[in-house]
Structures are given as C-alpha cells and as structure tokens.
Structure 1
Amino acid sequence: TKDMGKSLTQVATQPDVSRETDYFLSHIGNVKTIDDFLKDYRLYSYAMKAYGLSDMTYAKAFMRKVLTEGVANKNTFANKLTDTRYREFATAFNFAALGSNATKTVQATTGTATHYVTQTMEQKAGDQNEGLRLALYFTRKASTVTTAYQVLADKALTQV
C-alpha cells in the first residue's frame, strides 16, 4: 500500500489478469451495439468486474436497460438507482449518447482496464486480509463521498 503504482503493476502482470486485459483491450473496439457487448461474455464480465458489478453479471436485461437509457438526464434508469456503480458503468459505456463509438473512448478501454486491475488487487488482498481490502476500498472511494448517506449506503465504507 505504500507504493500503489508498483502494487497495481504487479497485479496487472499476473498471467490471468494480463490475459483477460489483453483480450478485453483487443476486442472491445469491435463492439458496435449493446447486443454485441452482452453476447461476448468475456468482455461483458470483465467490464462488470471492473466496475464492481460482478455479482450482477447474470442480470443482462437489467444491464441492457442501464446501457440503453444512459445517463443523459436525471430520469434515466441508471440515475434513479441508489448504487452509483451503475451510473459509472453507463457513463463508461455510453451507448445512448455515442452509439457505435461508445467502446472506443478512453474511459471504456484503458479506464475499464485500470478499474479491473484495481478491483482484482482489492479482491486478492481481501483473500489474505479483509482489513487490507477494506483499507484499499476506502482509499479508492473516500474522495467521492460527499454526504453521510453515501457512507451509510455502502456496506464496506460503513464497516471502515
């Protein structure tokens, strides 16, 4: 935790993480529609894990609605959900606003890869020490917290 960049590099070079990241970066640019995205399970599950949504990978209809409506106004599905991870996901893969170019943005490509490595590092740290996982999560999320309700709504932040 003293040298976060070094830790992230170590995780990124692990064979399983490297292989999945290479696949994601080489194939995400070929995705033109939401259907293409949801059909490629490796791409879709990689992106879901990157944004901390791996427990919702099975809910393709739910995620289709999140991606279809986007985040253009406050009445969209993603903006109505209390969990901000869906809004982050819809922002990164903004098919509603960008159409077939949604998967070519920096946020959708390298941004997602960075999130994936960070999530993997937190998960692997948590396998050894739950306190370390919580500390890494807190370090990542603390700067985005603006109200006490956000802390109360996030189980991990509440635990910290």
Structure 2
Amino acid sequence: MLFQPTAGIGGLPGWLVLQRTETRQREVFERSPVIERDVDYFRENISKALTAKDLVSDRRLLTVALGAFGLGDEINKKAFVEKILDEGTENSDAFANRLNEPRFKALADAFGYGNIQGGSSVLLESFREDMIARFKVREFDRAVGEGDNDMRLALNFRREISELVDPDTTEKTAWFQIMGQQPLREVLATAFNLAPSVAQLSIDRQQEIFADRARSLLGSSDPAQFDDPEVVDEMLRRFFLMRQVESGPSPATPGYGALILLQSQSLGASAIENLLLSQI
C-alpha cells in the first residue's frame, strides 16, 4: 500500500502544515512497498541498461529514470525518449537541445548515452544513487499533487527555481528559462496576478511584464533573487493567497466576515488581496 502524503487542508494554511510535517511524511512515503520495490529494482538492474534501447525496453527502469526528472507522464513515448537519450547533448543539433523542455536535456545529459565525452553513467554508483534520490523526491511531490496540485507546484517551485539561478546568465535569458518551465511560470504568474492574456503576447513583451512585476513587488527584476529562501517563501505566500482570491473565501478564511463585506461593496481583487495579506 502506498502512503498518501497530504497537507490536510488547502491554501496557505495547508502549505504551512505541509512544510512542518514534510520530513516525517517523506520518511513514511519512501518506506512504502511500491517505492521500495521500484528503488531496489533500479539499484540492482540499471547497470545492465548499457544503451538507450535497453533502458526504454525495461518499463520498471524507465519508470525511475523518467520519474527522477519529473517526466513520468512520458512513460509510453518510448521512441521519443530513446531518441532523446541516443543523441545526447554534446551536439548543438541534438534532439534534447532542440526541445523547449529543459528536463529532457537534463535526462539525456545525466544518462550520457549519446555523449562521446564521459559516455554512459549507468555503471557509476554515484549516478545510481543520485537518480534514486531524485526519484524519491519527485514521486513524493507527485503523490502530494494527487490531492492538491497547488502543493505540488509549490514543492517544485521551492526546489527548482534556485537551480536556474546562474550568475553567468543575463536577466533576460534567466526570465526566458523560467517562463519556459510551465510549473514555475504558473506559480509566478499567479503570484504576480498576471492575466491569462499575457501568454498571448510576444515572448519579449512577456519577459518585460514578468520583470516589471518582480521589480514592483520585490524591489528587483533580477531572477538571481530567487536564490534567497525568503524571496521564494514570499512568492509562494503570494501564490497561495492569489489562488484564494481566485477561488473565493470560505468560512475558514482568516478575516472571512470582512472579506464578504468587501465583496458586497464591489471592491476589487486588490482590496481582497490586501486584506488577506494583512491576516497572515
């Protein structure tokens, strides 16, 4: 039986609960028989997958390999995944380098099947254990998301956003990388209270809007600030509060009576947002 991690409640209160109970819940989840079986099988057999074809031909190995990069939904696209792995990442024209999804490049680079320098990593113990650790983390996130996808988005944002921070990358390029990852983009677009229509604008104009909104709310347009845990916490706080504004308050919402009064007076979402922010 697979342990089902949960926050118990939704929204910002649920996120705070999840953070307080996360360590214990992860420990229990990782001891679930299903997870242990997948991990043990991968640990014992990944060294036999000497080619990309070997890997995609073994569904149990592929489950962990794709799950380690949050790509579990691609499990049935064997030819697609094999092509990504076979071509590696060293050639600028490699398939993984031409895709908009950076996780495919990370997958191909990690396994190294198509790379001349270094070659395949499957015989390395350090590689095997790194893939297992990644798989456990992302499987926990996926399981949390089955109950509340906003919690999964928040866990992913907290982990992934700082990994995109590169001092050698320009601000504009960094924003493009962030906007190119839909889960990260969704969190920021919600936290920034951006209209869905923004996605229909040119990519350059979208980048300007994201940067301007960051400058307005955080005092800087530089994505490097997401390396600061306090900034990440603030973005997640705003994400959950704006989700609450979108879905409307419940009797459990702090300041519920005042919120109802504000709504009855036809005050906008910004007034409601400000009240919510004052209650936390």
Q: TM-score, normalised by structure 1?
A: 0.87
Deviation for aligned residue 1:35: 1.9
CA positional deviation for 1:7: 4.3
> 1:83 — aligned with what?
101
Give the Å deviation of 1:106.
Answer: 4.6
Name whichever of 90-99 and 135-144 sits farther off.
90-99
Q: May I ask how many residue pairs the two structures share in their alignment?
A: 159
1:150 to 174, 177, 181: 177
Of structures 1 and 2, the one with the larger relative CO (CA 8 A, separation 6+) is 1
Structure-to-structure mapping, 1:4-153, within 5 angstroms = 6-97=24-115, 98-99=118-119, 101-106=120-125, 108-146=127-165, 147-153=174-180
Percent pairwise identity:
28
| Cα contact 1:92–1:107 (8 A) shared by 2 | no
Q: Any stretches of 5+ residues in structure 2 without a counterpart?
A: 1-18, 166-173, 188-280
Structure 1 segments of 4+ aligned residues over 6 angstroms from their partners:
none
TM normalised by structure 2 equals 0.52
Instruction: Say what the alpha-carbon RMSD is for the aligned residues.
Output: 2.0
Larger Rg: 2
CA distance in 2, matches of 1:11, 1:103: 26
AA aligned opposite 1:133: R
Change (3 A) 1:149 1:17: same
Choose between structure 1 and 2: higher helix proportion.
1
Moved more, 122-131 or 21-30: 122-131
8 Å contact from structure 1 (residues 11, 120) kept in 2: no
